[in-house]
Structure 1
Amino acid sequence: MVTSKFGMSRNILREKRAGNSDRVTFVELFFDLVFVLAITQLSALLSNEPNGWGFAQTVLICLAVWWLWVYTSWATNWLDPDTRPVLWLLLLLMAVALVLSSSIPGAFGSKGLIFAGAYVLYQLIRTVFVIVASARHRAVVADGQKRILIWLAVSAPFWLVGALQEERLRLLLWAIALAIDYLGPATLFWLPKRGRSSWEAWQIRGAHFAERAALFIIIVLGESILVTGRSLTGDELTPESALAFTSAFASSVALWLLYFAHGERGGTSFIKAKESTGPVARVSYTYLHVVLVIGIVITTHGHEVTSHHPLEEASLSTLAFAAVGPAIYLVGNIAFKASVGIRPRLLPGHIAGTFAYLVLYVLVAAGALHLTALALSWVATGILIAVVTVDERLWRRRQVPTTSPSEQLAL
């Protein structure tokens, strides 16, 4: 039942739940499954045009998919998914996201309107629901969501009109729509005559939000494991395919370690210690995590290309996947870790690794270094392994006490 004040009479917010309100619920994990398909479809989109144009398309769609997911994570941080209304909301959003995900390979072709329509509909359903659910019990959150609705009214025409244009103009209009969507949180959803919203409207449970972001990284890394498995099952097993498989698997492990060995725990501790969690959630988890996602998606596709043609000379597109993807991931890691209190000077491996990928790209692109796709894959993976090794050694060194036990007692 909806009250006359445009709010639900029943309180379905997490704050009223007894016990551990930071727990990620099973329905949230079930909801995430539909985004496994979305990430898989991104690789299909990149396969359609393995060049700069396809790269731009893939990045744009990846940003859009992430925006849907992360906004829903904000919503379920306030709402209690164990209540039936929120459960049905997530199931409905899953259905819309499934339609959107299935349209990704044709988003710049015949399925553009399906993609754009599903994107706008998803945003509309979720935002209106949060407004209704929070209006009575937490009005400040509802006010923030109303601002989102106004910003959506500005970006939606670009999504829908863009879907009716030829693909290059479509990319431009969708880029404008996405820029509007991404600018919203940066300005705290500024409105004429009303200014910015308060940070109170974006106060969240830090531990829950950090865990949700980490789980999405797991989803994207899961796609890299699927690619690795397909490289063994799809083709006849040869020494070359076995080496490509080993490189892909080692790369996935390295990507996992660079985020989960120290960064993820540091981020969780950092946001939990903050009295105002909204600023950290906005920068560290809403904006910076998508850089990690893009890096993994591109790196994974590079391994998929290598598994099919390991002995061919590396093309410029293969080079971009092998060198640019991991570089983006390292830059994202540096930015994320710096945003949660880990100083860049403590990440020399990350910085050196990024520089190494730049040098690798220049050498191969300029023709000064000729490598097969398999050799390039191993060089790229070797850089990641070196970064992990340096990072782990420095971390262990920082854990060694600089004073003797007797001096520690005296202190």
Structure 2
Amino acid sequence: MTEEDAGDGKRVGWVELYFDLVFVFAVGQVAHGMAVEPHWSRVGAALGLFLTLWWTWIGFAVFYNRSGDDSRSADRLFVLVGTIPCAIAATRAHSVFDGHPAIFAAALAAVRLILATAHLWGKSDQRRVGWGYAASTVLFAVSAVLPLPWVFVLWGFALFQEAGFLLLGDGRPRKRERPSRAARWRVLLTPPTDPNRAVDSAHLSERFGLFMILLLGELVITTGTAALDRPSDDVGYWLTLVGGLVLAGALWWVYFTSAAEIYERMLSFSRGNPLLAYSLYATGHLVPAFALLLVAAGVNLSLQEPTPHTAAWFVTAGLTVYLLGTRAVAGGTRRWYVGLGRIAMLAGTVCLAFLGLVLPAPAVVVVIAVWAVGIAAVAGSIRHRALDGLGDDPAEFLRRLPEERAS
């Protein structure tokens, strides 16, 4: 983000950063849960738990984006109070894995009560959002006293209805037939008819970027913490530590040089279209954010003795999902051979886990880190050309894609 761009919107408030620090502890427990029981079934459960936490964080991010103001004590107070039930939920995240989600559900109900109050207290155009969070409060509170699996059914319903009122705008296609790709992009890039529904693109981009940094920090902390009890003359310790840090740096490079600027430019061009914000940030960042936790769990496991066979798979699967989620290797061209090359690159990333059959886990981490550095360099080049092609008119750039594909 350039200084000129940064001046076009509000900045992330200090209270938001404090909230994120508390909240990242909760998502850190998700990574810890995967490292404690490194099975794919646990990964699926962790994804569901992360989705619940993720959408809770989205609620505060959107609230402050649309109506929050660091100069108003009430707005800061709502966020600060929200950190308390979020911290309680973080300490009880492990109990969800064990089949005892009551306290966790009650804490999330309290979080939504705070969000409901904040929206009902604020601008009149946000009252509808407040009533939606009031409904979610009831659903999460009821789930605290229900047996499994009905708890998760209510959670899913609550999150689904939240998605319907929080970010979706008035620009969705109303035709029954499936719209073309060009028509979908026209809808996403059309400014909202109601300015009150618009989101602040600069603030949203900065908020999500900072949260991605915190998740990358989870990878760094996990790597360092797991290595604390290893002797200093252990070569495997140094390999994993250096490999983990290099991998974290490569993942940072992929996001901030390949995705972040494009996302902000497109959202700015649409003048804060909430449907585009939903696509790029609320759902678009969910997958790469969880992928970072999967990578962190895999690197952590690579330092354990004996090393679980899933350790390398966690790292390579997480890296692959991260590349897909950030669209790091998706450029402006749709020529078939370029697409085939992308598939080969992603398949090769996953298959690096087979090196665990012939190499110790720390060495595998180093190889994956070097591979990630190479992909980051390629992705940076691809996305730089995409940004040049995007120019000041994303609609014109997207219109030219079918012509290029035909050629």
TM-score (norm 2): 0.77
Is the CA contact 1:199–1:278 (under 8 Å) kept in the aligned structure 2? no
2:349 counterpart (357, 362, 378):
357
Offset from partner CA, 1:202-235 (integer Å, 9 cap, x none): 3111101111011110110111111222244332
Is the CA contact 1:245–1:307 (under 8 Å) kept in the aligned structure 2? no
What runs of 5+ residues in structure 1 fail to find an aligned partner? 1-18, 190-196, 402-411
Cα gap change, 1:149 to 1:231, in 2 (>3 Å) = closer
Listed as ranges, the matches of 1:77-156 within 5 Å are 77=65, 78-109=67-98, 112-135=101-124, 140-143=125-128, 145-146=129-130, 148-149=132-133, 152=136, 156=138
Offset from partner CA, 1:176-207 (integer Å, 9 cap, x none): 55445446558669xxxxxxx98655311110
Offset from partner CA, 1:346-371 (integer Å, 9 cap, x none): 9978654322234446x57xx9x544
1:38 counterpart (21, 26, 32):
26
Cα gap change, 1:243 to 1:120, in 2 (>3 Å) = same
Is the CA contact 1:24–1:211 (under 8 Å) kept in the aligned structure 2? yes
Is 1:325 the counterpart of 2:315? The answer is no
TM-score (norm 1): 0.76
Is 1:221 the counterpart of 2:216? The answer is yes
CA RMSD, 1 decimal: 3.3
Residues 259-268 or 114-123, more deviating: 259-268
Distance in 2 (alpha carbons) for counterparts of 1:141 and 1:148: 10
**Structure 2 residue aligned with 1:334:** 327
Aligned length: 357
Residues 104-113 or 24-33, more deviating: 104-113
Distance in 2 (alpha carbons) for counterparts of 1:343 and 1:400: 10
**Structure 2 residue aligned with 1:26:** 14
**Structure 2 residue aligned with 1:246:** 242
Is 1:75 the counterpart of 2:68? The answer is no
Counterpart of 1:343 in 2: which secondary structure? coil
Listed as ranges, the matches of 1:206-285 within 5 Å are 206-237=201-232, 238-285=234-281
Cα gap change, 1:73 to 1:186, in 2 (>3 Å) = closer
Counterpart of 2:327 in 1: which secondary structure? helix
Offset from partner CA, 1:12-70 (integer Å, 9 cap, x none): xxxxxxx9761112111112110121122112222332212211221111111111111
Counterpart of 1:280 in 2: which secondary structure? helix
Distance in 1 (alpha carbons) for counterparts of 2:348 and 2:150: 36
Deviation of 1:90 after TM superposition, in Å, equals 0.9
Counterpart of 2:122 in 1: which secondary structure? helix
Instruction: Specify which structure has the bigger relative contact order, considering alpha-carbon pairs within 8 angstroms and separated by 6 or more residues.
Output: 2
Distance in 1 (alpha carbons) for counterparts of 2:386 and 2:47: 37
**Structure 2 residue aligned with 1:384:** 372
